[in-house]
Each structure stands twice: as structure tokens, then as C-alpha cells.
Structure 1
Amino acid sequence: MIKRYDVLCIGSATLDNFLTTDCSLKSVKLGDKVLVKKMEKHSGGGATNSAAALSKLGLKVKLLSKLGNDHDAEFILNELQQYKLKNICLRASKKNTDFSTVISCPHKDRDRIIYVHKGASRDLSVNDFKKSQLKAKWIYLASLVGKSFQTGKEIAQYAKKKKINLLFNPSLYLAKKGKNYLKLVLGATTILVLNKKEAQVLLGTKTNSYKELLMGLYELGPETIVVSNGRKMTYAFHEDNFYSILPTDIKVVHTAGAGDAFTSGLLAGMIKKYSFEDALKLGVANSLSVIQHVGTKNKLLNER
């Protein structure tokens, strides 16, 4: 029997190393040796974060992410098994698996520095999967860079041709590439989710008017637009209506993975036929749960 999938998540898979120090990072000088209070290692990246979150919420999910042939890839794949996730990528890259080092300080200023290496995730090609493997009710397209984005454009066009719903969650890097660079993907997009800065950069505007941002993005092709702003108000445009939602004020431990958790919760709500307002609430609740812990997948909400 062929398994029917709700979502195919496409994007990067990263090994995230979280280092916590006691000192303010602003006080560190060149050449200083800084003691690390705590170290944690987790899988990350847009594809694995979204896939894990959607799976926890009871959906059937698979992912497409290019990994290297190394220990970091083994770590990521082993962790993904906990979420019953399968990577449909057929080949490993000769490049290293993506990795990041997140150095943070738990003081009031919540300093953090993130170093990211993009390796294997830049290497996704159309030869890494069969088109039949792309079948799903939804495709969640996270940020892709380099050659991989060209592959992402082909996948978006396939989704449009086959009438597969597409959620596009670009990064600031892609937003800086401009509207023309993203034109083919935006024209195939059902739901576009990005933050305020990304929206402004993509549209080439400094306006703070959310209505202008939402309508400017809507004119690029997506049916539904969601623009977040961290712990401030999130705004959306869906079926000719404007929406807004304010997250609850809670203690933040780490913001890594917050955007992926929000977007996945929103999509899960849509797939489960929630009202759009309730889907937004599920996204916010998922995000708030994640930011109270270290790691992009810790304390994701489950189906219950």
C-alpha cells in the first residue's frame, strides 16, 4: 500500500551546537579564552525543524534534505527517527553536512552569536530524488541557497502543475535576492510566511505599515500572507480578510527554531481544517513552547 503524505518538507538539515557562557558576549575581547558553562547538540535546519513539528502534531511527513557522508549526518538521521521521519534524498553530498555553533549568554541582554556553515544543503539537484517522491498534499519549502534554490524553483513549478499546495518560508538571504529572483516560487505559493524585515527587504521598502506589506506581498502571487515580528504582533491576510495576533509575554530562553515552530503550527492547523484564526493561534502556541528551551525541537507541541 502506498503511504499518502500530508507534507513534504524541503530545506536544510543542520547539526546545531549550543554553547552557553556566563559572561556577556559584549565584554569578550579578541584573544580571550571563555569557559563554556553548558553544551548541547541537536539537529536543526528548516527542513528538519518543520518536519519534526508537523509530525508531532499528528501529520504524515517526509523530508528532502541533502546531507554529507559524515558523522553529523548520522547524528541528524538518528534524531529524525524519533519523529518517524524519512529523508527521501537519494544521494549524499561530497560536501560536509551543514553545521552551526550558537554561543549564547543567559543574562538580561540575551547575547548570542551564530556561526553557520552551509555545505551539503547547497548541493540539492533534481537527480537527488524521483518526481514521484514529491507527491504530498502540501510542500513546505524552507530557505535554499546556491544550486539548491534552482532545484527549489523546479519543485515549485512541479507543485503548481500538479496542484500541490505550497508553503514558502524564505530567509533574509533569499529576500535580499529580490522579487524577480523569487518570482517563479512566489507565483506557485499558496502560503507565504516571513518576518517583517524579510518582507521589507523583499519589497524594497522601509514602510512599517503592515497593510502595505501584506498587500505588496499579495500582489506577487501568494494566496495567503503571514508577516511576523518576533514577540510583537503577527499580521496576516487570508481570503480577503486581515488578521493580527499578539504572543503571550513569557520568559525566553532561546529563540532558535521559533519561526519554524510557528509556521509548522500554522500549516498543521490549516491542514486540520481549523479556522484561520485558530491556525494562527496554534502556530503562536508552538513557537512559545519552543523558545522556553534550548534546541529547535525541544518541547514542540504534540497532537493532544
Structure 2
Amino acid sequence: MFKYDVLCIGSATVDSFLTIEQPLQEVKLGDKVLVNSVEKHSGGGATNSAAALSKLGLSVKILTKMGGDHDADFIIKELKEYKIKNICQHHSIKNTDSGTIISSVKEKDRIIYVHKGASLDLSSDDFKKSQLNTKWIYLASLMGKSFQTTKKIISYAEKKKVKILFNASSYLAKKGKNYLKSILKATSILVLNKEEAQALLKSSSNNSSQLLRSLHQFGPETVVITNGNKALYALHDNVVYSLIPPKVKIVHTAGAGDAFTAGLLAGIIKNYSFENALRLGQVNSSSVIQHIGTKNKLLTEREAQQLIKRYNIKVTKNIKVKKMRT
């Protein structure tokens, strides 16, 4: 019997957001750059997705390893505001993961520097299998020892009929499809951005429909490829969908992917049509990119429904494709 909706597995970080005046491309080696503003927020694939899912009304837990430090305390305090519990029972001797996100007031993109510490140390001894009694696992990226632990969790989840959403990062996607084969085979929903999809397939193709079909062959029932403020594409029930994001003022793009993916999953769990699940994910992402911080401003379900009506987001069904499997 499933006792909660989603277990989010991934990293937990404390991120420093630095905003500078000049375009990032104009910064040269050796420059001393004045910073306009500095903000500190929690981040990481596990906490971002969990907060978004909780805000949308789902019961959520996370599995992430942190250090025994002030950054971990900062993250735990923030998670309590979302009523989220970490089922990891031990601290790492390493520091909690951290990140520095640098953006310019004159550009819409950013540079992210990430330090991987405690999140590399997750082992099977850190949690009880009885705590994996969830309907869904939202799998964000983990590396090293933690990735091997993740593979064991996914194998166990398959046997227990737990569904898997996999949201791979760029550094994990670059490992390639063979490295991720067992996870892809067990995945119900795969969400990547276009660069990650190309990296995973080792393809330079810009044809999103072809990328979708290629990824679908490795196991995922549903595949979604996002592309920033350009059209996203999805393959679901052998039909290709497309959605053009609404135009909003972009302040910061960090956390946009997590907000979208969590919204999509929430819609599916709540039995939305697939088109409306895509819309739910999109408005959540569109809200986050108008603020600094990966959890500002995540939407409640009611807020999301209001924005779906306001933006009148069009979802197009494109072509029906034959079901393919390797």
C-alpha cells in the first residue's frame, strides 16, 4: 500500500545568487567584478521538485544526503515550511552541496558553479526500504556512489510497481544512454532539455520529434523535451505534442526545469489530461523564472489554474507515431 504520493531523490544545495551589471560575455579573466545583489536560497533537484509538488497539494518526502553543517540546517528549516521530511537517516562527513549562480541584469541566462559534496555519499544504509512506499519516485541527478545506490532503489521500485519520473541533468546525460540504460528502461516519464537530450543520445539533431522517438526506444512511456522559451515537445501515448511557452519577463532561469517537471507530474497524478498537465508544468516554470531563487514563486494548484486560463496556452497534437522498443 502506498502511503504518500512522491519521493524525490537527488541533491540538496545552498545556492548563492549573484547579479552583476555587465553582460557575462564581457567578463575577462582577471577582472574584478562588482556584484549588484546577493541572495541565498536552498536548491538542488530533490528539494526544488519536492517543494513544487508539495505546493501543488501532494504528499512528498525526499531522499538526499547532507552534511552535518549550517547549510544542512538552512535546508531542513526551509523544507519544514513545505512540510517535507528527508528519509535519509545519516549525515555525511563531507559538506552539504553548494552552488553559485551568476547572472547579468542585461542577459536572461546564467552561469552555475556547483560543488558536489555530501550528495555523493548516499548509500543503502541511509534509509529503510519500508520508507520507499510511494506512488511515484521523482529521480533527479546523483553522481558517484549515490548513483549506484539510485540504481538499486529503482530496481526495488520496479518490483513494487512504483512509477518513475527521471529528470537527468547535463552531466549525467553526457554519460550516455548505455550508462543510463537500466534507469531509462524502468522510467515512466523522462524529462530533459534539448541539450541534455542531444548529449544523452550523442546526437547533433535539432529535430525534436526525432529526439523524442529515439529516447522513447530506451523504455520511457512518456518523453518531454523542453527548450527554454522556445517550443517544448512531448511524446505520450504515441502522439507528439508541442507547446509554446507564454511570453513573460525573465529574471532568472535557475529552477525552471524543476518547476516544470514537478508541475507536469502533479498534473498526471491528479488525473489531468496530458495537455493540461503540460500546461500546469509550464505556468509553474513561467512563474519561477520571473523571480530569483529556484522556489520563488512556486504556484498552488489554484494559482496555476488561474494562470492557465489567463495565458490560454495552446497545446498542439502533431503526429501519431508507431510504438517502438529496442
- Which interval holds the TM-score relative to the shorter structure? over 0.9
Q: CA deviation at 1:111?
A: 5.6
Of stretches 239-248 and 32-41 in structure 1, the one that deviates more from structure 2 is 32-41
Listed one character per residue, the Cα deviations across residues 265-304 of structure 1 (whole Å, up to 9, x for unaligned) are 0000000000000000000000000000000001101122
Partner of 2:55: 56
Q: How far apart, in 1, do the equivalents of 2:90 and 2:265 lie?
A: 29
Q: Deviations over 1:145-198 (max 9, x none)?
A: 111111111111111111101000011111111111101111110100001111
> Judging changes above 3 Å, is the alpha-carbon distance between structure 1 residues 278 and 204 closer, same or farther for their aligned structure 2 residues?
same
After TM superposition, the structure 1 stretch with the greater mean CA deviation from structure 2, 156-165 or 264-273, is 156-165
CA distance in 1, matches of 2:28, 2:198: 34
CA–CA separation in structure 2 for the residues paired with 1:303 and 1:134: 26
Instruction: Give the alignment's Cα RMSD to 1 decimal.
Output: 1.3
Is 2:92 the counterpart of 1:93? Answer: yes
Work out whether 1:81 is the aligned partner of 2:89.
no
Question: Do the aligned partners of 1:24 and 1:111 also contact (CA within 8 Å) in 2?
Answer: no
Aligned to 2:148: 150
- Give the aligned residue type for 2:7: L
Query: What is the match of residue 219 of structure 1?
Result: 217
1:217 CA displacement:
0.7
Aligned to 2:206: 208
Aligned to 2:36: 37
The aligned counterpart of 1:71 is: 70
Deviation at 1:82, TM superposition (A): 0.8
Tell me, yes or no, if the aligned pair for 1:234 and 1:245 is still in contact at 8 Å: yes
Between the two proteins, the alignment pairs up a number of residues equal to 302
Cross-structure match for 2:274: 276
Residues 231 and 242 of structure 2 are in contact (CA less than 8 Å); yes or no, is this contact kept in structure 1?
A: yes
For each residue in 1:182-219, what CA deviation from the matched residue of structure 2 results, as whole angstroms up to 9, or x when unmatched? 01111110100001111112112211222211111111
Superposed CA deviations along residues 205-250 of structure 1, whole A, max 9, x for unmatched, are 2112222111111110111111111111111111121111010111
Deviation at 1:59, TM superposition (A): 0.2
Aligned partners of 1:11 and 1:121 also within 8 Å: yes
Contact 1:143–1:174 under 8 Å retained in 2? yes
Amino acid in structure 1 at the alignment position of 2:13: T
CA contact (8 A) 2:100 2:113 kept: yes
Question: Using the alignment, how far apart are the partners of 2:19 and 2:301 within structure 1?
Answer: 31
1:105-134 Cα shifts (integer Å, max 9, x gaps)? 111x34633211000011111111011111
Quick one: distance in 2 between partners of 1:137 and 1:74?
28
Equivalent AA in structure 2 for residue 26 of structure 1: Q
Q: State the partner residue of 1:182.
A: 180
The one-letter amino acid of 1:162's match is K
4+ long deviations beyond 4 Å? none
Letter in 2 for 1:52: A
Amino acid at match of 1:175: A
Instruction: Give the SS at the match of 1:49.
Output: helix
1:278 and 1:291 map into 2 onto residues whose CA distance is: 20
Where does structure 1 lack aligned partners over 5 or more consecutive residues? none
Residue number in structure 1 paired with 2:244: 246
SS, match of residue 75 in structure 2: helix
Classify 1:286/1:133 alpha carbon distance in 2 versus 1 (closer, same or farther; 3 Å).
Answer: same
C-alpha separation in 2, matches of 1:110 and 1:195: 17
TM-score, normalisation: structure 2: 0.90
Q: Report deviation, 1:35.
A: 2.3
Alpha-carbon separation, structure 2, partners of 1:178 and 1:241: 25
Give the whole-Å Cα distance in 1 for the aligned partners of 2:51 and 2:284: 12
Map 1:220-235 to 2 at 5 A.
Answer: 220-235=218-233
User: Retained in 2: the 8 A contact 1:25–1:111?
Assistant: no
Matching residue's letter, 1:91: H
CA–CA distance in structure 2, aligned partners of residues 180 and 220 of structure 1: 10
TM-score by length of 1: 0.96
Check conservation: 1:141, 1:169, Cα contact below 8 A.
yes
